[in-house]
Amino acid sequence: MRTAVVTGASSGIGEACACLLARSGWDVFLVARRRDRLDKIAANTNAHIIELDITKATEEDFQQVKKCDLLVNCAGGAFGIDFVAESNADDWTKMYNVNVLGTLRMIQILLSRLVESQGCIINITSTAALSGYEGGSGYCAAKSAQRALTQSLRLEMKGKPVRITELLPGMVYTPEFSLNRLSGNADKANAIYKDVDRPLRAEDIAQIVSMVANLPSHVNVDELTVRPVAQRSQYALFRGDLNWKH
């Protein structure tokens, strides 16, 4: 049985990835802070729980992971939509810590096991890593740094039998992500998805993660950008009925 470690596994994309991998026969380790959420997911998947904040992860936290075939770095987040001139440096620090340093710590801890198993690392970044936008400077900066980390690691691991993939989702319907970013303002969070016909779901991203993870061991997908049909770019979002027939 192959072993997967999934961070951010208590909700959203991380939870969807963990559940799909578990259903597909993987031995899954759920990594997140919220024990109550992890307990419910583990009860439905027979997954293992590692309760922690990845920005403080240590080798000791992963002693029970004897081997690792797949690391999915989903833990992340955005905080605030302030313009650069008014932005909160503490929000920037939180975003950098979880998106970049959390990913760094997880890779450093598990990399030797991934190389030994000739496994795969999938870092979930964002299309925010591709260009800036108003009110997104802190999140774009953090995701750009995570993207740079991924690209550098891929080059540094030349000659090693390990696959390294960056997955860049566009608009994904993850209300909790938006609530956190907007300080719990439900009206503003809901407005993000208003009239968008079929934004991506966490389960869509999980399917792509599973697809990449299950490719032959010699096949590396360097990077994969995925958006809903309603979104053609960061600034080309159609709001309205797409008249789907299925």
For residue 12, what are the contacts with CB-CB under 8 A and spacing of at least 6? 74, 172, 174, 176, 177, 202
Distance CA 142, CA 153 (A): 17
Closest CA to 49 of 71, 76, 27, 73: 27
d(CA 192, CA 78): 14
User: Which of 31, 11, 20 is closest to 173 using CA atoms?
Assistant: 11
Residue 202 main-chain phi, psi, to 5 deg: -55, -35
Catalytic residue among 139, 173, 193, 235: 139
Q: Are the CB atoms for 81 and 136 separated by under 8 Å?
A: yes
Are 221 and 164 contacting, i.e. CB atoms less than 8 angstroms apart?
Answer: no
139 annotated active-site: yes
Active site residues: 139
